[in-house]
Structures are given as structure tokens and as C-alpha cells.
Amino acid sequence: MSILHIENLHKTYKNGGTKTHVLKGINLDIDEGSFVSILGRSGSGKTTLLNVISTLLEFDEGSIIIDGEDVTKAKNKKLNSIRNNYVGFVFQDFNLVNEMSVLDNVATPLILNGVSFRKAREKATEALEDVGLGQYTKVRPPELSGGQQQRVAIARAIVNDQKILLCDEPTGALDDYTATEILDLLKVLSKTKTVIMVTHDEEFAKKYSDRLIMLVDGKIVKDVTTEKGMLFEADIDDNDKTLNIRSAGFINLLMYSFLSMDIDKKKFGKTFKTFSLSLTLFIVISVINENLDVFTERYLDFFVTREVADTNVLLDFIYQFFEQNVTVLIQTILYVLIGFCVVSYLFVFTINIINKKREIAVLKAFGASQEAIAILFMLRPIKFILAIFKDTLIYTAILMLLINGVLSFRALFYTEYLTFVTNIFVVTFNMIKAFVINSSTAIDFPLLVGHIYPIFLIVLGLFMIGSLLPAYYISKSDTIRMLARE
């Protein structure tokens, strides 16, 4: 039974005024439960053919039918569902998300298909056990060898019971021994799946495939069946797979954003710290501005005492300056700080999203829509902002305690240790009380919830919009070429 039917397929690349005709009238039928290798030199069109079969790359003319589903004129929503339900990808460079665990990498196609996290992880565990990596669920891809990472990629490609495995040079980055292990695994999977592999290695192709297709200059010049590779008979399930046109759902995207949200702290650590400190100063200065009379009396009394100021022209000038301009100065500092925070964020996150082009391409390959990708990246700042505000609250609390005189140096100087400790306890307790109940008269400079959550919401809103725009733009671009080599 044919699972893939291709008729008169043409594909042309356009680069300015130059056109390159890559696929020239491809006609092909591939049966379910077969292991097909596509051979050819670089530039022959084999990777382009694989990308067109995957529905990630549009073609000029012809038709493609995958398991009875005509993708020729299908809309994006249906194409996404076809990729998610029917097509699994195994790439030469693995293309795993390094920031996530092996388990969540494998669960990704299910999560994108709207399956709950619990069930998706259960099925991902089963898929990892099928490829011999059941004990590695909690580790991250960089901790594994190349062969193990490729096994993870294979588990991801079969976790949603995809019928077709598209393998683009799956052994290209592996040594011969590990390559043999991967091909043995693919051969076993071809009992119940259809494996279509692009490769340069004719020896491996003849050993493992039951069909060899040779491409030269965009045309099939050789199509032969070999019995050497038939180590197993196909054992195909007669039940048809239903095409489920489903979306990931907001909850899945929110949870997934927390898993995959990670930024190189070595590269951007100083920016994050500056960000936290800027927000800290913003909040502290806001509190001081609300209690300016108390702050002036406690800390600027020397400068603003009329008797002292009048005896010195400089002090009198300072007094007049503070009296007339302090509010304007504080407001200016606040706006400069918050503006610096926003600019810093946009710079860091735009770079981060650009660096995530490969991840975006992987998400598209496993059925994520442009809208889902944009929402996912829009939600990622939530975890980032929570981490930033955690540091900000710590820094702010320390500064506010100091401003409120938590350290009574006078008591320490006169060795009144009980008074010193008591003062620390009283000021700290009053600070916490003021923050919890959002009101206090027992402390001069209360840090209130009202100082925090409006800033949090404003910054979060700005950052989500700032992430949405570049993510959506990148998701619309042609990212498939990042996943494949010709």
C-alpha cells in the first residue's frame, strides 16, 4: 500500500533574477513499511526533495499525497497537523533543544498536538525506552554522546506514532560504529514505519535499504529494489491514523515556555544584574519620593537647615536647588532607569530570539504554527521577569532596611547590643508587615506591594510585546535550511 505518492513534482529556487530548477518532474510511489534511501551528489536535489515531502518547503507544480491526504493545496493549519501526525524528522545535527531535558525534547510533538504534559511525558518515556535510553530522561542533550543524541531524535520522531520517518544524513555526524547502531535501529523501526533516508553513503544504503533511488540534477535516474537489506518483513497496523487538527493550547504553550526559556547567563549576566539594580533604584526612589519630607529631615537636614545654609553661599545654593528641583530630578531618574531597563531587555531578547532560529525551525518541523511559535516566545518573558523581580525584591529589601535604619550604629558604638539586635528585629518585622498588608504607619519608608506589581505588569507587558514581534517575524521566514545540509 502506497503511503506517499508524488506526481510530476517541480521545485525552483529564486535568488534575485536567477532561477535554479532543482526538482524536474519527480514521480514516485513509496509503500508503507519500506526503507528507502535517496542517493546523489551535493546539489542533486535530494535534500530539497526531502524538505518538499515534509511539507515544510513549497513546490511549484505537481502533487503530493501522504497516506491519502492531498497536501498540494492544503492550508497551513492542515499542513501543520500532517507534519505533527504523520511525519517524524531525524536530522544530521540532531537539532535537540539543549536547554530542555531529554524527556521534554521527545515530548515536544505531543505537547504541540495539545496532549497534556503528564500524558506526553508518559509516552515520551516509552519512546525513549524503545530506543534504549529509558535511564536518561532527566539529563540534557549536551550530556549525551552523538549516538545517544541521535537516538533521542529518533524517539522524538516516533513518539506521536508518526508513520513516516524522514532522515537527512542521520549518520553524517557519527563514527562508523555508532552509525551502524543508528541504522540498525532505523531498520527495526521500518517494520512498522516508512523510513526515507537521504545519504551520501552508498554502502550503508545498499546494506540497510530495500529500495535505492538515485537523483542526478533533479531527476530520478535509478530506482531499484534490493533484497539485501530486507532483514525484516513489514508488520503494518491496518488501522488508519486519524488526522487530528489540534492546537497546542495556551496552557501547554505557557508550561513549555518555562521549560525552554533559557538565556546564556555568561553572555548576558551583567545585563541581567544591571537590569535588576535599575529596577531596584526605580522602586527605592519611588518610595523616597513618596516620603520626601521624612527623607529630607533624616538624611539632608544638614543641607536644608536654614540657619546652617544661610551662613554659607554654597550651602544656601544647595538648599534652594533641592527645595525647588528634587521632585523633577527624581522623576527624571526614574524614567531614565525604566527606559534603560526596557532598552536592555529588547537588546538581549532580540539577540536571544535570533539565536533561537534553529529551535523555531524544529518547532515548525513538528507541526507548530506561526501563531503558536509567536505566543510561545511571547510567554517566555514571564519566567525571565519573575527571576529578575526575585533579585530586585532582594536588593530592594536590603536598601529599604538600611534606609529605615535597621543597623543602629549608635547603639553598636555605645555597645548597646540588645538595643542593636532589637532594632534589627523591629525594623525587619515592620518592613515585612508593611509589604504583606500593603500599609504601615510603624515605619518611615514602607515598601508596599503597590510599589511592585504595577511595575511588574508594565515591564512584563512591554517585554511580551517586544518578544512577540521578532518571534513572529522569524517564524514566517524560511528556517528549514537551518536544519538540513545539501
- Give a yes or no: residue 256 inside a domain: no
196 and 272 in one domain? no
- Give a yes or no: residue 310 inside a domain: yes
- Give a yes or no: residue 240 inside a domain: no
| In contact, 366 and 84? CB cutoff 8 Å | yes
323 and 195 in one domain? no
How far apart are the C-alpha atoms of 123 and 158, rounded to whole Å? 10
286 and 358 in one domain? yes
- How many folded domains does the chain comprise? 2
Please identify, among 231, 252, 273, the residue that sits at the C-terminal boundary of a domain.
231
Taking the CA atoms of the chain, what radius of gyration do you get in angstroms? 31
| In contact, 238 and 75? CB cutoff 8 Å | no
Please identify, among 231, 249, 277, the residue that sits at the C-terminal boundary of a domain.
231
205 and 271 in one domain? no
How far apart are the C-alpha atoms of 67 and 163, rounded to whole Å? 9
- Give a yes or no: residue 319 inside a domain: yes
66 and 199 in one domain? yes
**In the prediction, which pLDDT does 270 show?**
74
**In the prediction, which pLDDT does 232 show?**
43
- Give a yes or no: residue 202 inside a domain: yes
18 and 103 in one domain? yes
313 and 178 in one domain? no
**In the prediction, which pLDDT does 302 show?**
57
**In the prediction, which pLDDT does 363 show?**
85
Sequence-separated contacts (24+) of 107-111 with Cβ below 8 Å: 107/159, 108/156, 108/256, 108/362, 108/363, 108/366, 109/84, 109/156, 109/159, 109/160, 109/162, 109/366, 109/367, 110/159, 110/160, 111/248, 111/252, 111/255, 111/256
CA neighbor of 455 nearest in space, from 372, 378, 396, 376: 396
279 and 214 in one domain? no
3-class secondary structure per residue, the chain: CEEEEEEEEEEEEEECCEEEEEEEEEEEEEECCCEEEEECCCCCCHHHHHHHHCCCCCCCEEEEEECCEECCCCCHHHHHHHHHHHEEEEECCCCCCCCCCHHHHHHHHHHHCCCCHHHHHHHHHHHHHHCCCHHHCCCCHHHCCHHHHHHHHHHHHHCCCCCEEEEECCCCCCCHHHHHHHHHHHHHHCCCCEEEEECCCHHHHHHHCCEEEEEECCEEEEEEECCCCCCCCCCCCCCCCCCCCCCCCHHHHHHHHHHHCCCCHHHHHHHHHHHHHHHHHHHHHHHHHHCHHHHHHHHCHHHHCHHHHHCCHHHHHHHHHHHHHHHHHHHHHHHHHHHHHHHHHHHHHHHHHHHCHHHHHHHHHCCCCHHHHHHHHHHHHHHHHHHHHHHHHHHHHHHHHHHCCCCCHHHHHCCCHHHHHHHHHHHHHHHHHHHHHCCCCCCCCCCCHHHHHHHHHHHHHHHHHHHHHHHHHHHHCCCHHHCCCC
108 and 208 in one domain? yes
Range of the domain at 388: 265-404+444-482
Phi, psi of 22 (to 5 degrees): -95, -50
Tell me the CATH number at 165: 3.40.50.300
- Give a yes or no: residue 420 inside a domain: no
**In the prediction, which pLDDT does 394 show?**
92
364 and 217 in one domain? no
130 and 188 in one domain? yes
286 and 220 in one domain? no
Would you write out the chain's pLDDT as a tens digit for each of its 486 residues? 688 999 999 999 887 778 889 899 899 999 888 899 999 888 888 888 988 888 888 888 999 998 888 888 788 888 888 888 888 888 888 888 888 899 999 999 999 888 899 999 999 999 999 999 989 999 999 999 989 999 999 999 999 888 899 998 888 878 888 889 999 999 888 888 899 999 888 888 888 888 999 999 889 998 888 765 444 444 445 445 556 666 778 888 888 888 866 666 666 677 778 778 888 888 888 888 788 777 777 776 655 555 554 556 565 666 566 655 666 776 677 677 767 767 776 777 677 677 777 788 888 888 888 888 888 888 888 888 888 888 889 999 999 998 888 888 777 777 788 888 888 898 899 888 888 888 777 788 888 888 888 888 888 887 787 777 777 777 666 655 556 554
